[in-house]
A = this chain, B = another copy of it.
């Protein structure tokens, strides 16, 4: 009998909104979204899951949300708002996933209702995964509260949890129905978290947009000094570049190419090796430094441009490297990260390197000897700078 051919396309679309004070009763943005998408006659429910780090710094948030939905009652708020820990632990322990699944079940959240996650990237990743696998997908809304999640992870199409000690071993590609970036959440971030997310802006500028890199150089001081307007522009531009990349190439990553992971192969491994004591963005800054110097040592990138990258990373207050990024021998833990990175993506090893500021290139082989040399150069630079900093303090 004849082979039957199946072929169809599925359209995905969503908006990333920028706002201030999302749950101010006078801010109609989220209510307009929720009621605008209500095409049927039945009342939709919305379940909120919030990062404990956010409720700690914004203790009035839960009551603000409840007040908001008393005023805007076309959508039925699930009164039992779920508070879960933030950061990587929420992706490491499946009991948090189960908590969200139980809430979806207990409160009768169906495929036309909403699960809204408020928090950092880890909470959004885990809740997005829970929403996607519940009833084959209830509608997920993302409300990222960190620089990193507002400019990168929170606005994209991926979710996941860690399993078998491997980052994002379980997960799916599943776009949200909307993202709300509220600048007010950024004001309470620690300096470390404020800075950390900017690493993704450096990354996307380096592989895609020379002009944005120059803007980052020119505005590094303002960003380091927590200037709000500069931060807002950085987030908007970085989010825009990420969204363009996703729709332009291969949204669900069927190929082996993943340029947005520039600097990430070593960063992912380093996060595990330090038991997530260093932030994702801090690890990415070090990973960018490593792959930039590697790009220079392998003859792809000029020394001048390589130095500009390292200068920007330092100007923003990042460390250039970490003792665990040093390569002692061929089986150094960090080199295993290369193999794990390949395995997670599958297919051929594909690492993005730089040929110029604003221009990435794919490489399929990485020379461990050059990785070793690059990490030594960075260690030395880092020590010199630390020394200089000490001198200037004395």
Chain A interface residues (CB < 8 Å from chain B) = 1-18, 40-42, 101-102, 105, 108, 110-113, 132-138, 155, 158, 160, 163-164, 166, 168-175, 232-233, 236, 239-240, 243, 246-247, 251-253, 256, 342-348
Contact = CB atoms under 8 A, between A and B. Distances in A.
Contacts of A18: 1-3
Contacts of A17: 3
B10 A105 contact: no
A346 B163 CA distance: 30
Nearest to A16: B4
Top 10 A-B residue pairs of the complex, sorted by shortest distance between their CB atoms: A110-B346, A111-B346, A112-B346, A7-B13, A8-B247, A112-B347, A1-B18, A4-B16, A9-B9, A136-B171
Contacts of A134: 169-170
Contacts of A169: 101, 105, 134-135
B132 A175 contact: no
Contacts of A164: 101-102, 105
B4 A239 contact: yes
Contact of A172 (B11, B132, B256): B132
B163 A101 contact: yes
Contacts of A233: 1
Contacts of A239: 4
B346 A138 contact: yes
Contacts of A101: 163-164, 169-170
Nearest to A5: B15
A383 to B, nearest CB: 38
A388 to B, nearest CB: 37
20 contacts: A2-B18, A3-B15, A3-B18, A4-B15, A4-B239, A6-B12, A7-B12, A7-B247, A8-B12, A8-B251, A10-B12, A42-B347, A111-B344, A111-B346, A112-B256, A135-B171, A135-B346, A136-B172, A137-B252, A172-B174
A6 B14 contact: yes
Number of copies of this kind of chain in the complex: 2
Contacts of A102: 164
Nearest to A8: B247
B6 A13 contact: yes
A9 B6 contact: no
B10 A9 contact: yes
Given A5-B15, A6-B247, A110-B347, 12 more contacts: A2-B18, A3-B17, A6-B14, A6-B15, A6-B16, A10-B252, A110-B343, A110-B345, A135-B346, A136-B168, A136-B173, A172-B172
B41 A348 contact: yes
B253 A136 contact: yes
Nearest to A138: B346
A67 B71 CA distance: 68
Contacts of A345: 110-111, 135
A240 B170 CA distance: 33
